[in-house]
Amino acid sequence: MNQVTEPYTFIARLLHWLVAALILFNGLLALTDEWWPEHYLRTVIDFHKSVGISVLLLVLLRILWRLTHTPPPLPQHLQSWELRLAAIGHVLLYVLILSVPFSGWLHDSAWKDASTHPMTLFGLVSWPRIGFILHLDPPTKEYLHHLFGTVHTALNYILYAVLLIHIIAVYKHERLDNVSVLSRMGFK
Ligand code: HEM
Protein backbone atom coordinates (compact mmCIF):
# COMPACT_ATOMS: atom_id res chain seq x y z
CA MET A 1 0.00 0.00 0.00
CA ASN A 2 1.36 3.43 -0.96
CA GLN A 3 1.88 6.08 1.71
CA VAL A 4 -0.66 8.83 1.09
CA THR A 5 0.14 12.47 1.84
CA GLU A 6 -2.19 15.42 2.46
CA PRO A 7 -4.03 16.58 -0.73
CA TYR A 8 -4.11 20.00 -2.37
CA THR A 9 -7.32 22.04 -1.99
CA PHE A 10 -10.25 21.05 -4.23
CA ILE A 11 -9.89 24.26 -6.29
CA ALA A 12 -6.14 23.64 -6.83
CA ARG A 13 -6.84 20.05 -7.98
CA LEU A 14 -9.68 21.16 -10.26
CA LEU A 15 -7.56 23.90 -11.88
CA HIS A 16 -4.60 21.51 -12.28
CA TRP A 17 -6.58 18.91 -14.27
CA LEU A 18 -8.70 21.42 -16.19
CA VAL A 19 -5.65 23.37 -17.39
CA ALA A 20 -3.75 20.14 -18.20
CA ALA A 21 -6.66 18.72 -20.24
CA LEU A 22 -7.29 21.99 -22.12
CA ILE A 23 -3.59 22.42 -22.96
CA LEU A 24 -3.35 18.89 -24.36
CA PHE A 25 -6.61 19.28 -26.28
CA ASN A 26 -5.59 22.67 -27.70
CA GLY A 27 -2.13 21.44 -28.71
CA LEU A 28 -3.67 18.47 -30.53
CA LEU A 29 -6.22 20.75 -32.22
CA ALA A 30 -3.47 23.02 -33.60
CA LEU A 31 -1.09 20.23 -34.56
CA THR A 32 -3.79 18.43 -36.57
CA ASP A 33 -5.08 21.57 -38.34
CA GLU A 34 -3.92 20.23 -41.73
CA TRP A 35 -6.27 17.26 -41.34
CA TRP A 36 -9.37 19.48 -41.25
CA PRO A 37 -11.26 20.27 -44.48
CA GLU A 38 -10.34 23.71 -45.85
CA HIS A 39 -13.75 25.27 -45.09
CA TYR A 40 -13.52 24.26 -41.38
CA LEU A 41 -9.99 25.56 -40.85
CA ARG A 42 -10.93 29.14 -39.87
CA THR A 43 -13.47 27.82 -37.34
CA VAL A 44 -10.91 25.38 -35.90
CA ILE A 45 -8.27 28.12 -35.52
CA ASP A 46 -10.83 30.50 -33.94
CA PHE A 47 -11.82 27.72 -31.52
CA HIS A 48 -8.10 27.14 -30.75
CA LYS A 49 -7.74 30.84 -29.87
CA SER A 50 -10.83 30.76 -27.60
CA VAL A 51 -9.63 27.66 -25.73
CA GLY A 52 -6.14 29.22 -25.47
CA ILE A 53 -7.41 32.49 -23.97
CA SER A 54 -9.57 30.46 -21.52
CA VAL A 55 -6.38 28.62 -20.49
CA LEU A 56 -4.58 31.95 -20.03
CA LEU A 57 -7.36 33.16 -17.68
CA LEU A 58 -7.48 29.84 -15.80
CA VAL A 59 -3.68 29.85 -15.36
CA LEU A 60 -3.82 33.40 -13.94
CA LEU A 61 -6.51 32.18 -11.52
CA ARG A 62 -4.38 29.15 -10.69
CA ILE A 63 -1.32 31.29 -9.94
CA LEU A 64 -3.43 33.61 -7.77
CA TRP A 65 -4.80 30.58 -5.90
CA ARG A 66 -1.28 29.11 -5.48
CA LEU A 67 0.06 32.42 -4.11
CA THR A 68 -2.73 32.71 -1.54
CA HIS A 69 -2.93 29.02 -0.48
CA THR A 70 0.15 27.23 0.88
CA PRO A 71 0.37 23.78 -0.77
CA PRO A 72 0.66 20.68 1.44
CA PRO A 73 4.34 19.80 2.16
CA LEU A 74 6.06 17.29 -0.13
CA PRO A 75 6.64 13.77 1.31
CA GLN A 76 9.29 13.76 4.06
CA HIS A 77 11.50 11.03 2.57
CA LEU A 78 12.51 13.10 -0.51
CA GLN A 79 16.20 14.05 -0.81
CA SER A 80 17.06 17.76 -0.80
CA TRP A 81 18.11 17.57 -4.50
CA GLU A 82 14.69 16.08 -5.33
CA LEU A 83 12.91 18.88 -3.46
CA ARG A 84 15.03 21.47 -5.29
CA LEU A 85 14.39 19.86 -8.69
CA ALA A 86 10.66 19.60 -7.95
CA ALA A 87 10.53 23.32 -7.04
CA ILE A 88 12.43 24.32 -10.21
CA GLY A 89 10.25 22.02 -12.35
CA HIS A 90 7.04 23.43 -10.93
CA VAL A 91 8.11 27.07 -11.45
CA LEU A 92 9.14 26.18 -15.02
CA LEU A 93 5.73 24.58 -15.64
CA TYR A 94 3.94 27.72 -14.39
CA VAL A 95 6.12 29.92 -16.64
CA LEU A 96 5.39 27.67 -19.65
CA ILE A 97 1.63 27.27 -19.15
CA LEU A 98 1.44 31.05 -18.92
CA SER A 99 3.79 31.90 -21.79
CA VAL A 100 2.33 29.34 -24.25
CA PRO A 101 -1.12 31.02 -24.47
CA PHE A 102 0.38 34.50 -24.09
CA SER A 103 2.72 33.93 -27.07
CA GLY A 104 -0.31 32.71 -29.07
CA TRP A 105 -2.10 35.95 -28.22
CA LEU A 106 0.98 37.97 -29.30
CA HIS A 107 1.17 35.95 -32.55
CA ASP A 108 -2.50 36.53 -33.29
CA SER A 109 -2.32 40.25 -32.44
CA ALA A 110 0.40 40.70 -35.09
CA TRP A 111 -1.72 38.93 -37.77
CA LYS A 112 -2.21 41.24 -40.78
CA ASP A 113 -5.97 40.49 -40.91
CA ALA A 114 -6.54 40.95 -37.14
CA SER A 115 -8.32 44.29 -37.53
CA THR A 116 -10.80 42.89 -40.10
CA HIS A 117 -11.27 39.62 -38.19
CA PRO A 118 -12.22 40.61 -34.60
CA MET A 119 -11.70 37.98 -31.95
CA THR A 120 -14.52 36.57 -29.85
CA LEU A 121 -14.40 33.90 -27.15
CA PHE A 122 -16.45 30.99 -28.53
CA GLY A 123 -18.42 33.50 -30.64
CA LEU A 124 -19.94 34.94 -27.44
CA VAL A 125 -17.78 37.66 -25.88
CA SER A 126 -15.41 39.93 -27.76
CA TRP A 127 -11.74 39.67 -26.78
CA PRO A 128 -9.14 42.39 -27.54
CA ARG A 129 -5.92 42.08 -29.51
CA ILE A 130 -2.80 43.52 -27.87
CA GLY A 131 -3.24 47.17 -28.89
CA PHE A 132 0.31 48.38 -29.43
CA ILE A 133 1.03 45.45 -31.80
CA LEU A 134 -2.21 45.96 -33.74
CA HIS A 135 -1.16 49.53 -34.56
CA LEU A 136 2.38 48.84 -35.83
CA ASP A 137 3.23 49.29 -39.53
CA PRO A 138 2.56 46.25 -41.80
CA PRO A 139 6.21 45.11 -42.34
CA THR A 140 6.94 45.19 -38.58
CA LYS A 141 3.71 43.29 -37.93
CA GLU A 142 4.65 40.70 -40.57
CA TYR A 143 8.05 40.25 -38.93
CA LEU A 144 6.54 39.97 -35.42
CA HIS A 145 3.80 37.60 -36.61
CA HIS A 146 6.48 35.21 -37.85
CA LEU A 147 8.67 35.68 -34.76
CA PHE A 148 5.84 35.16 -32.23
CA GLY A 149 4.59 32.15 -34.21
CA THR A 150 8.03 30.55 -33.96
CA VAL A 151 8.20 31.37 -30.22
CA HIS A 152 4.66 29.95 -29.71
CA THR A 153 5.65 26.67 -31.41
CA ALA A 154 9.00 26.42 -29.57
CA LEU A 155 7.42 27.06 -26.16
CA ASN A 156 4.88 24.32 -26.88
CA TYR A 157 7.63 21.77 -27.54
CA ILE A 158 9.54 22.85 -24.41
CA LEU A 159 6.29 22.48 -22.43
CA TYR A 160 5.72 18.93 -23.75
CA ALA A 161 9.32 17.99 -22.79
CA VAL A 162 8.99 19.40 -19.23
CA LEU A 163 5.56 17.75 -18.92
CA LEU A 164 7.11 14.40 -19.83
CA ILE A 165 9.77 14.83 -17.10
CA HIS A 166 6.98 15.84 -14.65
CA ILE A 167 5.08 12.60 -15.46
CA ILE A 168 8.25 10.47 -15.14
CA ALA A 169 8.93 12.06 -11.71
CA VAL A 170 5.38 11.23 -10.55
CA TYR A 171 5.80 7.65 -11.81
CA LYS A 172 9.13 7.32 -9.95
CA HIS A 173 7.56 8.42 -6.64
CA GLU A 174 4.52 6.17 -7.14
CA ARG A 175 6.33 3.01 -8.29
CA LEU A 176 9.90 3.17 -6.95
CA ASP A 177 9.51 5.21 -3.73
CA ASN A 178 6.06 3.78 -2.97
CA VAL A 179 4.69 7.21 -2.01
CA SER A 180 1.49 8.35 -3.67
CA VAL A 181 2.11 11.93 -4.80
CA LEU A 182 -0.70 11.45 -7.32
CA SER A 183 -3.28 11.22 -4.54
CA ARG A 184 -2.34 14.81 -3.57
CA MET A 185 -3.76 15.92 -6.95
CA GLY A 186 -6.47 13.25 -7.30
CA PHE A 187 -10.19 13.20 -6.49
CA LYS A 188 -10.49 9.87 -4.62
C1 HEM B 1 -3.52 26.26 -24.21
C2 HEM B 1 -2.86 27.17 -24.85
C3 HEM B 1 -2.31 26.94 -26.22
C4 HEM B 1 -1.68 25.82 -26.73
C5 HEM B 1 -1.35 24.52 -26.00
C6 HEM B 1 -1.35 26.12 -28.10
C7 HEM B 1 -0.71 25.24 -28.96
C8 HEM B 1 -0.43 25.49 -30.28
C9 HEM B 1 0.28 24.61 -31.16
C10 HEM B 1 0.86 23.25 -30.77
C11 HEM B 1 0.33 25.19 -32.38
C12 HEM B 1 0.91 24.59 -33.66
C13 HEM B 1 2.28 25.15 -33.89
C14 HEM B 1 2.86 24.60 -35.17
O15 HEM B 1 2.29 23.71 -35.78
O16 HEM B 1 3.92 25.10 -35.55
C17 HEM B 1 -0.37 26.45 -32.29
C18 HEM B 1 -0.59 27.32 -33.34
C19 HEM B 1 -1.30 28.51 -33.26
N20 HEM B 1 -1.82 29.09 -32.12
FE21 HEM B 1 -1.79 28.25 -30.28
N22 HEM B 1 -1.80 27.38 -28.41
C23 HEM B 1 -2.39 27.93 -27.30
C24 HEM B 1 -2.93 29.19 -27.18
C25 HEM B 1 -3.16 30.08 -28.22
C26 HEM B 1 -3.80 31.37 -28.12
C27 HEM B 1 -4.30 32.00 -26.82
C28 HEM B 1 -3.85 31.90 -29.35
C29 HEM B 1 -4.40 33.23 -29.83
C30 HEM B 1 -5.24 33.99 -29.18
C31 HEM B 1 -3.22 30.96 -30.25
C32 HEM B 1 -3.07 31.13 -31.61
C33 HEM B 1 -2.46 30.26 -32.47
C34 HEM B 1 -2.37 30.44 -33.90
C35 HEM B 1 -2.96 31.60 -34.70
C36 HEM B 1 -1.65 29.35 -34.39
C37 HEM B 1 -1.33 29.05 -35.86
C38 HEM B 1 -2.46 28.22 -36.38
C39 HEM B 1 -2.30 27.97 -37.85
O40 HEM B 1 -2.24 28.94 -38.56
O41 HEM B 1 -2.25 26.79 -38.22
N42 HEM B 1 -2.81 29.87 -29.53
N43 HEM B 1 -0.80 26.62 -31.00
**CA-CA distance, 96 to 103, in Å (whole number)?**
10
| pLDDT value of residue 73 | 84
Has residue 124 been placed in a domain? yes
3-state helix, strand, coil in the chain (%, to 5): 70, 5, 20
CA 74-57-60 angle, 5° bins:
40
Nearest to 59 by CA among 111, 104, 22: 22
CA 9-12-18 angle, 5° bins:
140
How many angstroms is it from 185 CA to the middle of ligand 1?
A: 27
107-126 pLDDT, tens per residue?
A: 999 999 998 899 999 999 99
Instruction: Tell me which residues of the chain have a pLDDT lower than 70.
Output: 1-4, 188
| pLDDT value of residue 3 | 59
Three-state SS at 121? strand
How many angstroms is it from 166 CA to the middle of ligand 1?
A: 22
Instruction: Classify burial at 166, counting beta carbons within 10 Å of its beta carbon; exposed 0-12, middle 13-18, buried 19 or more.
Output: middle
Has residue 120 been placed in a domain? yes
Domain that holds residue 178: 10-71+79-185
Has residue 2 been placed in a domain? no
Has residue 64 been placed in a domain? yes
Count other C-beta atoms under 10 Å from residue 51's C-beta: 19
**CA-CA distance, 14 to 159, in Å (whole number)?**
20
CATH of the domain at 143: 1.20.950
Has residue 169 been placed in a domain? yes
pTM for this prediction: 0.93
**CA-CA distance, 115 to 102, in Å (whole number)?**
19
Closest C-alpha to ligand 1, atom 10: 27
Has residue 18 been placed in a domain? yes
| Helices within the chain (DSSP H only) | 10-31, 38-68, 80-109, 131-134, 138-171, 182-185
Has residue 37 been placed in a domain? yes
| pLDDT value of residue 1 | 46
Q: What's the number of domains the chain is made of?
A: 1
Has residue 5 been placed in a domain? no
| pLDDT value of residue 188 | 65
How many angstroms is it from 127 CA to the middle of ligand 1?
A: 16
119-159 pLDDT, tens per residue?
A: 999 999 999 999 889 889 999 999 999 999 999 999 999 99
